[in-house]
């Protein structure tokens, strides 16, 4: 009886570990996709900023003010 209970507990733990491994893998894949999207959006935002900057007269933040 004790042996059967221990086997059941071990099996339950193995099921939990397998579920957690699948969940972690799924979360890892989603995190990777989101990171790629963030990087793509960051790149596109920089490109948009460079396109719009001359149209609206935005100065480069690294440039010195006119009195220098």
Encoded tokens for 59:
């100065």
pLDDT digits over 28-68, tens only? 999 999 999 999 999 999 999 999 888 887 666 666 666 75
Three-state DSSP at 68 gives: coil
Q: Residue 33: its pLDDT value, please?
A: 98
pLDDT over 80 at 14, yes or no: yes
| 12 inside domain | yes
pTM confidence score: 0.64
pLDDT at 19 over 80: yes
67 lies in a domain?
no
Number of domains making up the chain: 1
* Structure confidence at residue 53 (pLDDT): 85
Q: Residue 10 is part of which domain span?
A: 1-57
Between CA 42 and CA 58 the distance in angstroms is 19
């Amino acid at each position: 009886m004790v042996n059967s209970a221990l086997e059941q507990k071990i099996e339950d733990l193995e099921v939990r570990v397998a579920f957690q491994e699948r969940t972690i893998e799924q979360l890892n894949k989603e995190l990777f996709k989101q990171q790629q999207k963030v990087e793509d959006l960051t790149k596109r935002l920089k490109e948009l900023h460079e396109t719009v900057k001359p149209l609206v007269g935005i100065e480069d933040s690294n440039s010195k003010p006119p009195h220098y």
